[in-house]
Amino acid sequence: MSTEILVTTGPESSGKTTLASQLADYWKTPLVSEASRDYLKEEGSYQQHDLLEIAKQQHKQEQTVLSHFPERIICDTDLLVIMIWSEVKYGHCDPWIYSTFENSINQRTSSRHYYLCDSNIPWQADPLRQNPLNRDKLFSIYLQKLNEYELEYRIVKGEPRERLQQVLDSSDS
């Protein structure tokens, strides 16, 4: 049995968590939350080596949910976010993150689809967020990576209800 994995991705404060929660509620399906939030709430700050730990926690959460063989899961981000953030902030990324990401997108037991959240919504301040001014640049990097890895994706725009409807409409086709 193949699992459909739907991933919300994009720059900070672009509506990923809102959309992921809406989808999980709508379909009554498991939600893999963003591991970095819990990690940073505990640790407060981070260095590059912390991104590897966050990535391992994110991957473990996803694998735990997948081990129950659901038909569909929703991921509020995945390793792509951590990979991009590491490259942007530190200029490189840990090889484990690259290889684990590449393995996850090539799994034959699942299909992965990305919903790239447009950054044209108001910035919401949050102590864990750092980039209110370069979200358009980050959006371009996400777009570039999705294309580079030849991943299936759809850009979602507008208010939360509009974004949800765009995903629902695309899943019907």
What pLDDT sits at residue 49?
87
Instruction: Collect the ranges in the chain with pLDDT lower than 70.
Output: 1, 41, 43-44, 121-133, 172-173
Instruction: Say if strands 72-76 and 31-32 run parallel, antiparallel, or are unpaired.
Output: parallel
Instruction: State pLDDT tens for residues 103-149.
Output: 999 988 889 999 999 987 654 655 554 565 677 899 999 999 999 99
Query: Structure pTM?
Result: 0.90
**How many domains are contained in the chain?**
1
Nearest to 75 by CA among 44, 105, 120: 105
Range of the domain at 25: 3-172
pLDDT, position 108? 82
Using CA atoms, how far apart are residues 50 and 90, in angstroms rounded to an integer?
Answer: 12
